[in-house]
Amino acid sequence: MAKVFEKFSTGYNTLFNDLADPRVKDWTLMSDPGIVLLVTIAYIYVVVSLGPRYMHNRKAFDLRKIIIGYNTFQVIANSLIFYKILSSGWTTTLSLGCEPVDYSDDPNAVSLVEGFWWCFMLKSVELIETVFFILRKKQNQVSFLHVYHHASTLLFVWVATKYVGGGMTTFCVLVNSIIHVVMYTYYLLAALGNQAIQKAISKWKKYLTTAQMVQFVIVIAHQMQALSPKCQIAKGLLLLFIPNVLLVFVLFYDFYRKAYKKKTK
């Protein structure tokens, strides 16, 4: 039993310390996956079971002002992350080709992994969106796509920050953050506007889903370069990341087909 525990301890230390980026070791929530896993499990339990049961015999909450504030925060936060990543090498030294992670203390390299960490923190905050749906009694919007996308994104961004927070991996954050600026701007206008404004912008809603699907295609095409033997970047994580993005793309397309294509017929 002692040998089994020793092997487990050694393997755990290797996986979460020796193989990880030493720069993020002492950053909030980055030392080990325990808290992130607990948050993810708690999130799924709350939005699938606890939340709906709590709201079963209650009236929907009016969260309009809170949602306006939340969407404003998201627009600003994603804009700042986009700028941070863009100004940390993407306009100077980084290209759209294979760019290995720089684990040094170079200012740009550190700024990139900081941008990744801020992206992870923002993905943690985004979990509250599902709670908003439940409190507003919009349980139909708490779909498998919605819950899986939020939960899996949180875990994958944590893993990326822990191991590959730099180089070509940050391109994913760059694309994602600008898409989210557009997306939350739309949500903000929808929450702020009267019925006339909401009707005027509603025709653009389907293009948000299209933009997200295009994002997935761009990210997969870009990250596939890392599978080349000549590209010195961790292959194992990509073999998990790419299938996940493909799955999310399929789920988004299925949603798009059901929500919008039928309406145009």
Distance CA 237, CA 220 (A): 13
Distance CA 83, CA 264 (A): 38
- Pair 150, 201: CB distance under 8 Å: no
- State how far Cα 217 lies from the chain centre: 15
Q: Which of 71, 208, 200 has its CA nearest to residue 128?
A: 71
Angle among Cα 255, 260, 262 to the nearest 5 degrees reads: 105
Options 149, 150, 180, 222, the catalytic residue = 149
Between helices 144-163 and 128-135, what is the axis angle to 10°? 160
Distance CA 197, CA 203 (A): 11
- Pair 176, 82: CB distance under 8 Å: no
Query: Is 150 one of the annotated active-site residues of the chain?
Result: no
Distance CA 189, CA 88 (A): 31
Q: Which residues are catalytic?
A: 149
